[in-house]
């Protein structure tokens, strides 16, 4: 029987053109799905006849309840080398090999600055007004030079965001539970003595932390109240780090100048979700990892993972 591979959430219909799947020859049949399956029942029905599934990031959970409904599944490939929504123990118990792919930190760094600059200079509002024959110059841009950029997290992505902030002439401060003064000095930034001090002193705050029990809900109503009314919050990391309801309240009440968000509690966002219509919000549909080079890496290494599995020597094992 031919080995069948399903590619999930191929919204742009580019999975099969982003890599050379022909190296798999006639051994593998690849089927990409452009629609998102929101429920476990939909997933179980769609994936019942597949030996392999390629899933993007952590959008689609694979708990034991779903894995147990996919008896044919033998190989599960996730983009990135960490995936918290796959039940690795259940996969192992069911004989499912879980593999990952490498991921570049460059696209989320670039998107972070696209959101920050878009907010600071009112790009969307001014563009919409210009195209619609609206007012000529209706906003006054927020300066970056000489302002303070606060980074929650100074890892692989946060440190690169810091470099760009320094190039703009910003003062960059950073904080996380494990950040040391030595590490901050290496990155050329100041270590904030506390999360609260960082929030209160920053003109722009950008989140670059991994999601864990310690970071879930790290920014709630109390933390948002510390921000200046002229401050902006950017989150391209994980939605659950920032309390979504508290952020919506701050935006509606005008307690902060604005927010740039690329990650959400539910993805894709329902048509009537309040994040779609919130004021002072520049939002993108989780584009942080969506770039040509990153897709070439994701799908190219997914092909390698499949080939290695079929040859009996799996690579980039997870869990």
Catalytic residue among 4, 267, 273, 316: 267
Nearest alpha carbon to residue 190 among 217, 224, 136, 151: 151
Catalytic residue among 57, 190, 286, 297: 286
Q: Among this protein's residues, is 147 annotated catalytic?
A: no
Interhelix angle 292-310/106-120, rounded to 10 degrees, is 150
What is the rounded distance in angstroms from the CA atom of residue 153 to the CA atom of residue 158?
Answer: 6
Catalytic residue among 57, 190, 238, 297: 238
What does the DSSP assignment read for 220-244?
-HHHHTTS-TT-EEEE-S-GGGB-H
Q: Name 259's bridge partners.
A: 233, 281
Residue 31: CB partners within 8 Å, gap ≥ 6?
4, 5, 6, 7, 50
CA dihedral 35, 40, 44, 46 (to 10 degrees): -10
Residue 315: CB partners within 8 Å, gap ≥ 6?
99, 304, 305, 308
Q: Among this protein's residues, is 238 annotated catalytic?
A: yes
Q: Among this protein's residues, is 160 annotated catalytic?
A: no
CB 111 within 8 A of CB 284: yes
Catalytic residues: 238, 267, 286
């Amino acid at each position: 029987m031919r080995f069948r591979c399903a590619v999930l959430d191929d919204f742009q219909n580019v999975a099969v053109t982003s890599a050379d799947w022909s190296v798999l020859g006639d051994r593998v049949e690849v089927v990409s799905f452009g629609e998102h399956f929101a429920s476990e029942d939909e997933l179980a029905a769609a994936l019942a006849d597949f030996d392999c599934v390629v899933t993007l990031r952590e959008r689609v959970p694979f708990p034991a309840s779903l894995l147990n409904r996919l008896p044919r599944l033998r190989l599960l490939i996730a983009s990135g080398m960490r995936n918290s929504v796959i039940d690795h123990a259940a996969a192992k118990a069911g004989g499912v090999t879980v593999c990952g792919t490498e991921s570049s930190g460059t696209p989320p760094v670039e998107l972070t600055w696209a959101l920050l600059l878009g907010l600071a200079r009112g790009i969307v509002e001014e563009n919409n007004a210009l195209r619609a024959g609206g007012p000529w110059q209706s906003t006054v841009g927020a300066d970056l030079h000489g302002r303070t950029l606060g980074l929650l997290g100074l890892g692989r992505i946060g440190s690169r965001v810091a470099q760009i902030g320094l190039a703009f002439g910003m003062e960059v401060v950073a904080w996380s539970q494990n950040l040391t003064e030595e590490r901050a000095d290496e990155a050329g930034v100041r270590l904030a003595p506390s999360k609260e001090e960082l929030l209160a002193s920053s003109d722009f705050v950008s989140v670059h932390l991994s999601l864990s029990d310690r970071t879930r809900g790290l920014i709630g109503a109390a933390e948002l109240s510390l921000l200046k009314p002229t401050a902006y919050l950017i989150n391209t990391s994980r939605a659950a780090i920032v309390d979504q309801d508290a952020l919506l309240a701050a935006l509606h009440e005008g307690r902060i100048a604005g927010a740039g968000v690329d990650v959400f509690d539910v993805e894709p966002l329902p048509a009537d979700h309040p994040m779609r219509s919130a004021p002072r919000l520049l939002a993108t549909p989780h584009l942080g990892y969506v770039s040509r080079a990153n897709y070439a890496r994701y799908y190219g290494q997914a092909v390698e993972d499949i080939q290695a599995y079929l040859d009996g020597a799996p690579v980039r094992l997870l869990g």
